[in-house]
């Protein structure tokens, strides 16, 4: 089982400097699939909030500018099927749109 670790499994948006974003915990994360909202949550409603994750990871790793930290997913997770159109957004920061290949 390769789970989430396969080629092209981590698409990201353009990189944005943290100083341009403001309070991370106040940001809304959302995913629409075929025009329907499937997931939506403020980052501070995740099991671990951003400051907690940074604190815990910094005990184990030397975190550096540009490191990517994948935080998990809000409620509503489900499969994407070939042909599905998606829009993923981090409010006022980044958007990513696409069609799932078959």
Is pLDDT of 1 > 60?
no
Model pTM greater than 0.85? no
**What's the CATH code of the domain at 30?**
3.90.850.10
Q: Are 92 and 27 in contact (CB under 8 A)?
A: yes
Q: Which residues contact 79 (CB under 8 A, 6 or more apart)?
A: none
pLDDT band at 43 (very low <50, low <70, confident <90, very high): confident
DSSP one-letter code for 86: E
The answer to whether residue 7 sits within a structural domain is no
State the residue range of the domain holding 91: 21-76+83-99
Predicted pLDDT at 97: 94
Distance CA 36, CA 5 (A): 27
Predicted pLDDT at 86: 96
pLDDT band at 102 (very low <50, low <70, confident <90, very high): confident
Q: What value does the mean pLDDT take over residues 26-38?
A: 94
Q: What value does the mean pLDDT take over residues 1-19?
A: 75
């Amino acid at each position: 089982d390769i789970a989430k670790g396969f080629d092209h499994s981590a698409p990201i948006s353009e990189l944005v400097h943290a100083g341009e974003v403001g309070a991370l915990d106040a940001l809304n994360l959302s995913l629409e699939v075929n025009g329907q909202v499937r997931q939506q949550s403020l980052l501070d409603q995740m099991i671990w909030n951003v400051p907690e994750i940074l604190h815990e990871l910094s005990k184990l790793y030397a975190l550096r500018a540009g490191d990517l930290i994948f935080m998990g997913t809000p409620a509503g997770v489900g499969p994407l099927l070939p042909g599905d159109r998606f829009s993923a957004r981090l409010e006022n920061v980044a958007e990513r749109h696409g069609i799932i290949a078959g």
